[in-house]
Amino acid sequence: MGRRHLLAGLGAVLALGAAPARAAAKTLPLSRALPAELAQALARKQALVVMVSLHGCPWCKLVREHYLAPMHAEEGLSVVQIDWGSAQTTQTVAGEPTTHAELVRAWKVKIAPTVLFLGAGGREVAERLEGGSPDFYSGYLDQRLEQARRAIAG
């Protein structure tokens, strides 16, 4: 089932309490060093996709489990997760030590989930995807990924 059609069936599946078929991959790697994660993505000619997630947020769980984690596992999408409010350590794009919570503040993220698309130098190369829309999320995500691909290809 393609991402574009997943959400259409997802509402019915969730209403029935069943798990959708594509939900095999459920987790994302946590960011531990943005410079290395970004360098790996750029070496693969991809933007680094960064999902800012909030513990207990149902929409975050849906985006992670049914969009980004499967794309990471099945398509090799370069993606990491930043946990809002977490003391988990990582590095800024400049290589300075920081925490996930401090990155959320520095990036001025106001809503969860927020998905960022980072290119060279940590510059955002596509419009952030903030919050969600059960009817159009797949289309918005595909649009941002295409915008990021074009920016990286340059």
Tens digits of per-residue pLDDT, 89-115?
999 999 999 999 999 999 999 999 999
10-residue stretch averages of pLDDT, the chain, 154 residues long: 39 36 71 98 97 95 94 96 96 97 98 98 97 86 97 93
Q: How many CA atoms lie within 13 A of 144 on its CB side?
A: 23
Give the Å distances, CA to CA, from 1 to 6, 17, 23.
Answer: 6, 19, 11
- Domain range 37-153, CATH class: alpha beta
- pTM reported for the whole predicted model: 0.84
The ranges assigned to domains in the chain are: 37-153
b/e for 15-46, b at 16 or more Cβ within 10 A? Answer: eeeeebebbebeebeebeebeebbeebbeeeb
Q: What is the number of other CB atoms lying within 10 angstroms of the CB of residue 143?
A: 14
Residue count of the chain, please give it: 154
